[in-house]
A and B are shown apart, each in its own frame.
Chain A
Amino acid sequence: MENTSVLQAERVETLVGTYGNMLFRFCLITLGNTGDAEDAVQETFIRFVRKQPSFRDHEHEKAWLLKVAGNQCRDILRRRSRHPSADIDEVVVPAAEEPHKSAVLDALMTLPEKYRTVLLLYYVEEYDTRKIAKLIGRTPSAVKMRLKKGRELLTEAYRKETE
């Protein structure tokens, strides 16, 4: 049997199992729908297969995947702005299942994407501002400002959701 293919498959299976959920929620919070989030996650792992990068440690591995996923999300957002389609709120489709209700998630999703991303990386993935800056290609001070503004907007949005 071709050992290279099997080893590569085992490696990607481990990564998908370890980071799949984390990348999916990152992409979902950034992009707002499961279809685009799945596309972004899939393309991230395909890039991994193509490049077969070496990692110093698990932190490096996770950061690489998040960076690639972030780039995929940016590409999707750019494509969306070039090809505007029907507002998903206008699509009337009966819900197949009871949607997950969370006032804080509702509030988070009202924020512009740049604030959602830094709030998620800071509070959920527990990165510091320096590491977030490297991931998203901004300065640490820009990240701090986005965190501050993001918290303010989230607090206000949550207050409105729970009124």
Chain B
Amino acid sequence: MDTKEMARAVRAIGMPDGMEERVLRACYREIEEKNMKHNISGFRRPAVVFAAFIMCFLCLGVTGMAASEKLQGYFRDIKDFRGAVTGETYEQADDEITVTSAAEGNGLKVHIVFEKPDAFPYSLLEELAASSYTVRDSAGKEVLSGVKTELFPVENGGADIIVAADLPEGKYTLVITELEGYKKAEQPLAIRGEWTCVFEK
């Protein structure tokens, strides 16, 4: 077997359609957040937000993609190295779901609310689990990293998920980056975004 053939085959692989735009969009958001944090003067802050708005508008060339607009979720195909579709995830659902949390006994009750429960894919979900999450203490140290929770029923436009979290007293930050939605006889749907909430034990 010719290793040059292998190298040729691998070099033929490129980013899928739309990926470059998605990566740049995420980077622009990071630039905006980073520069806002470094601005200590309140006088400059509106100028930075406005500049970031203009930057996103110009760089993306898309009238809808402004820093001040809500993120919109979208489906993304998961493909293997051959390009065959093997599944899908629902991405960028940050602004479509609200998360709050409160300590309860030896656990943490996480209240999930779908902003538009009648919209797809939320309207189809019957059960929900948190599949990727971390808990940090007030010093920023990670004290818990999530094992997938049990499934909890979706009712009244959301769900209450219990996370096992036996923690000492103190203030903590929960960050969830993936939920898993279930419907009978269907493959689970990974719903991705970033949801942050603070709770006290």
**Known contacts A49-B34, A83-B131, A155-B1; is-contact A2 B52 (Cβ 8 Å):** yes
Contacting residues, chain B, for A96 (C-beta < 8 A): 77, 85
Chain A interface, >50% SS class: helix
Size class of the contact patch on chain B: 35 or more
Flag if A42 contacts B22 (CB, 8 Å).
yes
Contact digits for A117-155, partner B, Cβ 8 Å, 1 yes 0 no:
001100110000000000000000000000000010011
**B10 interface residue (CB < 8 Å to A):** yes
Flag if B82 contacts A94 (CB, 8 Å).
no
Question: Nearest chain A CB to B74's CB is how many angstroms away?
Answer: 13
A32-64 residues at the B interface, CB under 8 angstroms? 32-35, 38, 41-42, 45-46, 49-50
Q: How far, in whole Å, are A82 and B145 apart by their CA atoms in the complex?
A: 10
Q: How far, in whole Å, are A28 and B7 apart by their CA atoms in the complex?
A: 14
Flag if A83 contacts B78 (CB, 8 Å).
no
Flag if A91 contacts B27 (CB, 8 Å).
no
Flag if A5 contacts B51 (CB, 8 Å).
yes
Q: Among the listed A21, A86, A102, A109, which residue makes an inter-chain contact with B14, where contact means beta carbons less than 8 Å apart?
A: A21
Contacting residues, chain A, for B31 (C-beta < 8 A): 5, 8-9, 12, 49
Q: How far, in whole Å, are A158 and B32 apart by their CA atoms in the complex?
A: 48
Q: How far, in whole Å, are A98 and B5 apart by their CA atoms in the complex?
A: 21
Contacting residues, chain B, for A86 (C-beta < 8 A): 187-188
**Known contacts A32-B80, A34-B16, A79-B132; is-contact A88 B3 (Cβ 8 Å):** no
Flag if B6 contacts A5 (CB, 8 Å).
no
Q: Which residues of A contact B (CB under 8 A)?
A: 1-2, 4-6, 8-9, 12-13, 16-17, 20-21, 24-25, 28-29, 32-35, 38, 41-42, 45-46, 49-50, 79, 82-83, 85-86, 88-89, 91, 93-102, 104-109, 119-120, 123-124, 151, 154-155, 158-159
Top 7 closest pairs, chain A to chain B, by CB: A2-B51, A99-B84, A35-B78, A99-B82, A25-B13, A158-B1, A34-B79
A–B Cβ pairs within 8 angstroms, 25 of them: A2-B52, A2-B55, A9-B59, A12-B27, A12-B31, A16-B20, A24-B15, A25-B11, A28-B81, A29-B10, A33-B86, A34-B16, A35-B76, A38-B16, A38-B76, A41-B23, A42-B23, A83-B146, A88-B78, A93-B87, A93-B88, A97-B83, A102-B82, A123-B4, A154-B3
Q: Which residues of B contact A (CB under 8 A)?
A: 1, 3-7, 9-16, 19-20, 22-24, 26-28, 30-32, 34-35, 47-48, 51-52, 54-55, 59, 76-89, 131-132, 145-148, 187-188
